[in-house]
Chain A
Amino acid sequence: MSPRTVTLLGWAVLAAVAIALEVLAHRSTSRLVGAGRLLSQVADRPAGKVALLLGWAWLGWHLFVR
């Protein structure tokens, strides 16, 4: 198996884990909250909101400028 395949497989596994957690979180009996609701809870705090906005700004700059 080539290094590229291994790396891509790793990304696929991580994506599958995230999707599985999100699905699990949406079950009525789940004690886990989804990523969106957790982000919402973090953004409810001023420091959390500033941190998320800084991360968002960095992401945009990284993807569309540099």
Chain B
Amino acid sequence: MHPAGASPPAARHSLVARVALAATATAVLAGVGTAIAATRTFTWPAEVLTGGVEIAVALAAALGAVAHRRRHDPTRRTALDGRSLVVWSAVVALVVAWELSALFGGVRHLHPTLSSLVDTAFRVDAAKAAGAALWLALGSWLALR
């Protein structure tokens, strides 16, 4: 028996495990983000680091897919919302159209693309580290879900 208000050992253990997992994930995201921010584009360290992260995420996704297939019924996945798919696809199409018009519009300074705007922001190392951490978080979410 446990006193009223006290959490049982299993729940406490689960909370500790979650906190440890969150701390580890944060440390990995911060570490990889900082390492990527320390590299410069068009160099081999950038290729090795970014390529290594991509290979690791692809491996995690492949292993996750095998485990998922063993555990789950593929017919029980969530339904795709058609209306929302159309609306968000229209937004993506507008973004692509605007990106292409900027890309082929002439001088980059006068017609900034999304990439050139992001490049400008990434001249600040902290912004590049945050961007890389966000990118890795998105890839990890995709691979592990």
Contact = CB atoms under 8 A, between A and B. Distances in A.
Given A14-B94, A32-B81, A53-B142, 10 more contacts: A3-B105, A7-B102, A31-B83, A32-B83, A32-B84, A56-B138, A60-B53, A60-B135, A64-B39, A64-B135
B22 interface: no
Contact of A65 (B41, B65, B88, B111): B41
Nearest to B80: A41
Interface of B: 36, 39, 41-42, 46-47, 49-51, 53-54, 57-58, 61, 65, 77-81, 83-85, 87-88, 91, 94-95, 98, 102, 105-106, 109-112, 114-115, 117-118, 122, 128, 131-132, 135, 138-139, 142-143, 145
Interface string A22-41: 00010000011101011011
A52 B143 CA distance: 10
14 contacts: A11-B112, A17-B91, A32-B83, A32-B84, A38-B85, A43-B142, A44-B80, A53-B57, A56-B57, A60-B54, A62-B115, A64-B36, A64-B128, A65-B50
A63 B131 contact: yes
A25 to B, nearest CB: 7
Interface residues of A, number: 38
Interface of A: 2-4, 7-8, 10-11, 14, 17-18, 21, 25, 31-33, 35, 37-38, 40-46, 49, 52-53, 56-57, 59-66
Contacts of B105: 3, 7
A41 B82 CA distance: 11
